[in-house]
Structure 1
Amino acid sequence: MTSTTQPEGPARGPNIILILADDMGFSDIGCFGGEIRTPHLDRLGAEGTRMTSFYNTARCSPSRASLLTGLHPHQTGIGILTGSTLPAGYPGDLDPRCATIADMLGDAGYRTSCVGKWHLAGNVREPGPAWPTRRGFERHHGPLGGATSYFDPVTMVEDEEPIETFDPDFSLTEHLGERAEAEVRDAAKDPRPFFLYLAFTAPHWPLHARPEQVAACRGMYDDGWDVARARRLERMGELGVLESATELTERDEDVPAWEETAHHAWQARRMEVYAAQVGAMDAAIGRVLDALEATQQSEDTMVLFLSDNGGCAEEIAPGWADEMDPVPYNVPVRTAAGERVRKGNDPSVVPGPPATFASYGRAWANVSNTPFREYKHWVHEGGIATPLLARWPRGGVAAGWDRTPAQLTDIVPTLLEAAGIGAADRTSHPESPPLEGSSLLAGWKGEKSTEEPHPLFFEHEGNAAVRWGRWKAVRAFGSDWELYDLRVDRTERHDLSAEFPERVESLVGAWRGWADRCGVRDRTSILDQQQRGRGHGAGRGPGAGRGRGRGLIQDVRSAWTVRETQV
């Protein structure tokens, strides 16, 4: 174990900043083909490695659990979201036995802090073993629960003390950037290397942004979603994100052509606000990068950026928030100024201000996930593919593209190798399961790997996939397995399962072995339990006792037997 009085300079471990976006699609940022102005992320990408085949787990809480532990989410107790789905499902709390990267780095003498969204504790009202300050972080500032108002957020804490009063000019994304900047500047005075986990709620709904931020995006989407998708694919080819021959998936069958859509101005406004949220996040990240340079810590700080799932197709049913039965814990019924909050996606309500609570919907999520199929919740490429940016100048991380398939379980081993810590060196949690991933550091340095590709496994709400090298078997819950050769068909347009049934059988067999070993629970049993209504808190969100909020999510996919409403 490294002493907490490590010497200054290269001999000590590097600083590490791990930045997570919430519900951001694969092609939203500029350096991955998006038209949204993200100069700071683009700079980060240009100066470091950009991974094009990196995967999350398709949902908020499971991705966070996997990212911070190096385990698959089912092993951590959070196979769906926070909130118990026992006995058929999962506890919905981060298992105390599972060490976090903050535990491991803290044991090795790192200063550890968390700024932003946690979403790994079922109870956000009373401090418990799943709170960040009890999972290796010396400090935490931000919301403990899921999506929340950007102007009047709930479940905000400073360490373990609630924060309930905000400045009238408060904006959550800007606030988190300011706090993260302060952490970087304060850490420069500490002889220890630091680990900062910066987890934004942006650009998750609700669509909230300042008027001037939205104005900066005015007109960007006046040509509609069909043109936006085509333009993104063209830019992706020019940048080298994907091969130029990549085929664009057909527009979602439930999305009409732009020319056949009413309320063009309102539809465009939805995406303008979303783009403003991404831009605000980029500006906040810029504050952090500038603070690194100002404190002369930039060269020996590893900075990573990624998203917790693909773009979100969820629609929010229109209505007054105070008329919901019950009101979800994260939806305010009135603004700080006393205005009644109108939730939902209604052309008569212009999104952006505090008195609204809306989402951008399936059509624009289809744009965010260009050129892929499906969305958050699903494990087709649109649900699990994320841009990943990695920069560490002194560590030799090279500028360029890395097309190696990898997933969230690979991040903890990578950070441990960078810090010079053995993967089994977990003194505060010796009972934690072995890490599931492998370090990506050699690939980021441009070194050729001699290892055979290892399989990547996924499951969320019965949606399942396994990728092994160029081949991917995937199914939506209740559907047959499909097979794709991702080397030539990354957009999953040409199902080869009938042509190669033995390959499907082999991949599915490997997936089943993984699912048994890692404790994947049967989705049908969970749904049956929820329908019977005997689910020991099944499907309940943060702050047990506050209810699920019927009617918040109007539609994700009509084939669902039960529609979860948490985020």
Structure 2
Amino acid sequence: MPVNGQEESLGHTDAARPNILLIVVDDMGFSDLGAFGGEIDTPNLDRLARHGLRFTDFQVMPACSPTRAALLSGMDPHRVGFGSLAEELADNQKGQPGYTSYLPEDLSTLPRQLQDAGYATLMSGKWHLGFEGGRGPRHFGFDRSFTLFSGGASHFADGLPAYSPDPEAMASYVEDDKRLDSMPADFTYSTTYYVDYLMRQLQQVGDQPFFAYLAYTAPHWPLQAPDATIEKYLDRYGDGYEVLRRERLDALKAEGLVGDNAAVSPLPPRVKPWDLLSAEERARETRAMAVYAAMIDEVDKETGRLLTFLERRGQLDNTLILFFSDNGAEGHDLDETWPADVFPKIRGQIDQRFDHSTANMGRPGSYTLYGAGWAHAGSPHLRLYKAFPSEGGTRVAAFASGYGVAARGVSDSTITVMDVMPTLLQVAGVSASGDSDVTGDGMSFAPVLAGVDVPTEQREWGVEFLGKLALRRGHWKLLKLPPPYGPGTFTLHDLRRDLAESVDVSGQYPEVFASLKLAYDAYKDKNQVVIPDWVSGY
């Protein structure tokens, strides 16, 4: 596993039981952080990333629930019931083993194993892994938790759900296993409250080693942030997403995160060039991106507050920090996410309960998504965004820093979200090997953190989400996307030369193409994949 940069120990390696802080953001673009080429103010995360190891090929699933299932299980999400989102299941998937939308009752999760090993296990943020039979975070190994059970909600204290046909419904927040019927009195903004809650629980831990899972809902829609933070960015994005994508790509090259030959990928379908937008359209687009940037800014600020807390307690140096996004940037708009002709009751409640005016965008009671143009600028060298198994949906910004990270710089090792569980267990001394079935499940990347070169060129895994298909084998990528995003048939891409997946090389490499199609069939059978007979358009 190639690592660029010098080896340097960033923690006290003689400590027997390190703390673990796992930070997962929701729908963040690859280049949003300063250390990944962005212009948003993220000094705390940048400092961590630059004093640790940044990954250029960290792979997750195309959407939130499948990624979180793979994270906590170390397995392909179909194996644990999350081949899709509960909200998007087709009739022929309902009741099938790979699409139950809840975790198996006896699943040996990451927090369960760490809990059994004597760790305090804490969670704050988004769960989105079902509540079958009342089984939530506590059942699966968390001592204490404050979680949002659904995929999204208002980030403010109004507690409005992001999608519900019920006009009286509030967001599905749960503390431990108790569903809340009102918002906590001190809840002002989700990103702030998640850190507040986690720090309160950490104060009770004492000297016990901890595993803290901080699962921000930012920057998931509806995009919302404090007015003062939005104000910082209102004048920043007037040149549009096409200018921003070029600036971001140049910065990615300067950071050494992409090669000099990396090119801007084409604008996604249905995105208007900036110069064809009306003045009103530009005003809405500019404000939407300002709100999004403010959300990333708030994530950085609150993470910095948590780091200061740990440092004052003398725990920071003995803490391994792993940070990544659950999927690529969110490029859908409101009509694609909850179209009125598919989800009329949900869309009706959104239109009745939220104020969609430009002036209200980002404020309480607003419902904003920033769309495909800005999502594309967020990952300018990659194809498409969230919900697609193309690189723009699955290749995310990620870094490790702190305890046990002896390599500083940039790693182009291929890492998957399924690798997180065996890695953290190995770092914690719970598992010494972490070398499970590399064709489907995870393998430890602890050696990469230690600066050891371990080849990953032949790693292979598949993806199915909403009938969109992919299989990676090293630098080869098999991909099947529906029109207008692809031809509706399998294509082959060489990621060494074409990160944007813009050229189909199946005709040049017919043997590779045939081999990967056979491998996908084997993946499909092994993981009980059911191709949906209906999709909402997401």
TM value normalised by structure 2: 0.87
Name the counterpart of 1:216. Answer: 232
- 3-state secondary structure, aligned to 2:245: helix
Q: 1:22 aligns with which of 23, 26, 30?
A: 26
Equivalents in 2 of 1:186, 1:399: separation in Å? 33
Aligned equivalents of 2:497, 2:433: Cα separation in 1: 38
How far did 1:327 drift?
Answer: 3.9
Q: Is the 8 A contact 1:473 1:484 kept in 2?
A: yes
Q: Residue 124 of structure 2 contacts residue 215 of structure 2 at CA under 8 Å; is this kept in 1?
A: yes
User: 1:86 is matched with which residue: 94, 100, 106?
Assistant: 94
Aligned-residue offset at 1:452:
5.5
* Alignment partner of 1:389 out of 399, 414, 419: 399
Q: Which residue does the alignment assign to 1:342?
A: 355
**Contact 1:205/1:359 (<8 A) preserved:** yes
Offset of 1:185 from its aligned partner? 3.7
Deviations 1:262-317 (A, max 9, x none): 12222100000011011111111111211121111111111011011111122114
Match of 2:473 in 1: 468
SS of alignment partner, residue 370 of structure 1: coil
1:511 is displaced (CA, Å) by 2.0
Instruction: Give me the whole-angstrom Cα distance separating, in 2, the residues matched to 1:69 and 1:114.
Output: 16
Mapped pair 1:509 → 2:518 = yes
Q: CA deviation at 1:122?
A: 5.0
For the Cα contact (< 8 Å) 1:48–1:399, is it kept in 2? yes
- In the superposition, relative to structure 1, how do residues 333 and 195 fare at CA in structure 2: closer, same or farther (>3 Å)? farther
Partner of 1:186: 204
Describe the SS at the equivalent of 2:122: strand
Give the letter for the 2:137 counterpart: P
Choose which of 252, 258, 261 in structure 2 pairs with 1:236. 252
Question: For the residues of structure 2 that align with 1:146 and 1:50, how far apart are their CA atoms?
Answer: 27
**Gap regions ≥5 residues in structure 1:** 1-7, 335-340, 426-433, 528-560
In structure 2, the partner of 1:408 is 417
Q: CA deviation at 1:106?
A: 0.7
1:116-131 equivalence runs, <5 A:
116-121=125-130, 128-129=134-135, 131=136
CA distance in 2, matches of 1:9, 1:380: 38
Alignment of 1:26-425 (within 5 A): 26-82=30-86, 85-87=93-95, 90-121=99-130, 128-129=134-135, 131-151=136-156, 152-153=158-159, 154-163=171-180, 164-167=182-185, 170-187=188-205, 189=206, 191-262=207-278, 263=280, 264-317=282-335, 325-327=344-346, 334=353, 341-343=354-356, 348=358, 350-393=360-403, 395-422=404-431
Could you report, residue by residue, the CA deviation over 1:305-336 in whole angstroms, capped at 9, with x for unpaired residues?
101111112211499x9xx95347995965xx
Aligned letter for 1:53?
Answer: D
2:291 aligned counterpart, secondary structure: helix
Alignment partners' CA distance in 2, 1:215 and 1:69 = 41
Match of 1:449 among 424, 435, 454: 454
Q: Deviations over 1:325-381 (max 9, x none)?
A: 5347995965xxxxxx225xx6x5541111211211111111122221111111111
Q: Quick check: 452-461 or 36-45, which moved more?
A: 452-461
* Partner Cα separation in structure 2 for residue 167 and residue 258 of structure 1: 43
Task: Mark the CA change 1:289 to 1:333 in structure 2 (over 3 Å): closer, same or farther.
Answer: farther
- Identical-residue share of aligned pairs (%): 34
Name the amino acid aligned to 1:149.
S
Contact (CA 8 Å) 2:76, 2:440: kept in 1 or not?
A: no
Residue 523 of structure 1 aligns to a residue whose secondary structure is coil
Superposed CA RMSD in Å reads: 2.6
Equivalent residue letter for 1:464 = L
In 1, Cα distance between equivalents of 2:302 and 2:112 = 26
* Residues 59 and 376, structure 1, Cα contact 8 Å, conserved in 2: yes
Is the Cα–Cα contact under 8 Å of residues 191 and 217 in structure 2 kept in the other structure? yes
Task: Tell me how far apart the structure 1 counterparts of residues 208 and 214 of structure 2 sit (CA, whole Å).
Answer: 19
Query: What is the deviation of 1:183?
Result: 3.2
CA, structure 1 residues 495+327, in 2 after alignment: closer, same or farther (shift >3 Å)? closer
